[in-house]
Structure 1
Amino acid sequence: MTTGTALVELDDVSKYYGNIRALEGVSLVVHAGEITCVLGDNGAGKSTLIKIIAGLHRHDAGTFSIEGEETRLASPREALDRGIATVYQDLAVVPLMPVWRNFFLGSEPVKGKGPFKRLDVQTMRETTRTALLRMGIDLRDVDQPIGTLSGGERQCVAIARAVHFGAKVLVLDEPTAALGVKQSGVVLKYVAAARDAGLGVVLITHNPHHAYLVGDRFVLLKRGSMTASHAKDAVSLDELTRQMAGGSELDDLRHELERATPPTAGE
């Protein structure tokens, strides 16, 4: 059983854009060393939820707490300062820059003073290599452009970067959406490694099979509303998949699509 204060907790959170309900009555909790999976199809409200946790948008109702303190984040920088790192699906990397430069992008260490101040390239190279190895990621060369890495490898570098820079909560936006089975498995391995390093992870996905492999808690969204919330020991993969697929709605659709029994000869 999880003990201690939640790293992040949303209670009955809602977000409106004019008359449009983007999110309504959503609750979730993220503890250190646990993975909370948020599942839903396109338009379910996953992106809005990410933006609230990441500090891009403020919620309109409900409470959002970080380590027990109710808050309204004003910016992504404030979220990062509070220990929340978000890795978006497009990763926001500079493809032609080397891996080490992308690893430190925006947080580059320097050496020297005055007119002799310059980037500490050697430290960045060595730190990047060490941080990746600590997560079990052994790249061929940290000097290679990050655009030459596979999608799975780039996701793993982003996860290792968040861990290195002291994130307490890691929010992952559909990290396996554009990947094949093998690369998805690699990414999920490092998602689990981040959990084992003591981070609280929010995994946004539309794939219940991937979620069930690593998740501890599951929150299901549909059209901006929370339709279910489960601990892993309280739901099976089949039931999770059925609920996400629409449950009774899917059964109704199956009946509609079933062809009538063809008439027998002579009728």
Structure 2
Amino acid sequence: MTQTAPRTALVELSGVGKHYGNVRALEGVSLEVHAGEITCVLGDNGAGKSTLIKIISGLHQHDGGTLAVEGEETRLSSPREALDRGIATVYQDLAVVPLMPVWRNFFLGSEPRKGSGPFKRLDVEFMRETTRAELLRMGIDLRDVDQPIGTLSGGERQCVAIARAVYFGAKVLVLDEPTAALGVKQSGVVLKYVAAARDRGLGVVLITHNPHHAYLVGDRFVLLKRGAMVGNHTRDEITLDELTRQMAGGNELDDLRHELQRP
């Protein structure tokens, strides 16, 4: 009987830790990110989610454990190196210029040019058409790519950022609380395009504090608390109720319930 060889993770963290002086920000955190899958990282404020993002995106280096990209152990020295290795991060406070049109923000920092010498100029037509086409490929049908990106809803701006990362060749997409400031309908829109990125073959890391959003799209779930990993499950190992219970504190919540009961 032929055995299938194990897949190499796009990104794999094993026992990763990070200290700032005497402060432990992360310790012993492990996770895997595979092509065509969504790994959800859950935790409250102060759980270590932001530190984890910074390590994966190359902003900070880990000082314990190992980080491997496509099977090669490495230490990412900068966000540019992470991008060059195919890891794109979309932060909660999107790096956009609100008054610039959607197409200009789509290519911000990577604007194609045409012509030569003193006649070299931005290829505006290419950027407009490419932006429109790439958004449509992700299922995003904007009214007008010439409209200022600041006129879009928060969910629409998140979707543009996701489409941009896909277009520029990301293999791994790290999303920092993309639904945190959104209502139910807009959150649904964003999760739809997160799933679209997964279906395009990207490995997605979804950082969130909402277990319901995570369970809608997630394949793997890593739970953090005070910098430590308190859970690591695949989808078939855990139910939404149990994920919510662990996220809410589990046994600590049961103890609190007993303390708060009327005598």
* Kept after mapping to 2: 8 A contact 1:16/1:22: yes
Matches of 1:206 and 1:195 in 2, distance apart?
A: 20
Map of 1:116 onto structure 2: 119
Structure 1 CA distance, aligned partners of 2:261 and 2:159? 44
Q: Is the partner of 2:65 in helix, strand or coil?
A: strand
Q: Pick from 25, 28, 39 the counterpart of residue 25 of structure 1.
A: 28
2:100 corresponds to which residue?
Answer: 97
- 1:220 maps onto 2:223 in alignment: yes
Within 1, Cα distance between the matches of 2:24 and 2:5? Answer: 33
Provide the secondary structure at the position in 1 that maps to 2:139: coil
Per-residue displacement from partner, 1:60-87 (whole Å, max 9, x unpaired)? 0100000000000110000000000000
Pick closer, same or farther for the CA change 1:45–1:2 going to 2, 3 Å.
farther
| Percent identity between the two aligned chains | 86
The aligned residue for residue 197 of structure 1 is: 200
Whole-Å Cα distance in 2 between the matches of residues 253 and 154 of structure 1?
Answer: 40
Q: Secondary structure at the match of 1:64?
A: strand
Bigger CA radius of gyration: 1
Is the partner of 2:262 in helix, strand or coil? coil
- 8 Å Cα contact 1:51/1:57 also seen in 2: yes
Aligned AA (1:181): V
Q: How many residues align?
A: 260
Contact 1:172 1:204 in 2 (8 A): yes
Q: Which residue of 2 aligns with 1:5?
A: 8
Matched residue, 1:166 = 169
Shift of 1:4: 1.8
- Aligned mates of 2:24, 2:92 — CA distance in 1: 24
1:151 to 145, 151, 154: 154
3-state SS of 1:29 partner = strand
Residue correspondence of structure 1 range 28-107 to structure 2 within 5 A: 28-107=31-110
Amino acid at match of 2:39: T
Once the 2 structures are TM-superposed, how far is the Cα of residue 2 of structure 1 from its aligned partner? 9.3
Superposed CA deviations along residues 95-134 of structure 1, whole A, max 9, x for unmatched, are 0100000000010000011111110000000000000000
What residue in structure 1 maps to residue 214 of structure 2?
211
Summarize deviations over 1:14-71 as a string: whole Å, max 9, x none.
0000000000000000000000000000000000000000000000010000000000
Q: Secondary structure at the match of 1:49?
A: helix
For normalisation by structure 2, the TM-score amounts to 0.98
Q: Does 1:134 align with 2:131?
A: no
RMSD across aligned positions (CA):
1.0
**Paired residue for 1:16?**
19
- CA shift, 1:259, in A, is 2.4
2-structure distance, mates of 1:209, 1:226 = 20
Q: Secondary structure at the match of 1:65?
A: strand
Matched position secondary structure for 1:156: helix
Deviation at 1:255, TM superposition (A): 1.7
Instruction: Supply the AA of the counterpart residue of 1:232.
Output: R
The answer for the alignment partner of 1:235 in structure 2 is 238
Counterpart residue identity of residue 178, structure 1: A
Deviations 1:152-171 (A, max 9, x none): 00000000000011100000
- Out of 241, 245, 257, the residue aligned to residue 254 of structure 1 is 257
**5+ residue gaps in structure 2?**
none
CA distance in 1, matches of 2:163, 2:130: 11
| Structure 2 residue identity aligned to 1:230 | H
Unaligned runs of 5+ in 1: 261-267
CA contact (8 A) 1:2 1:31 kept: no
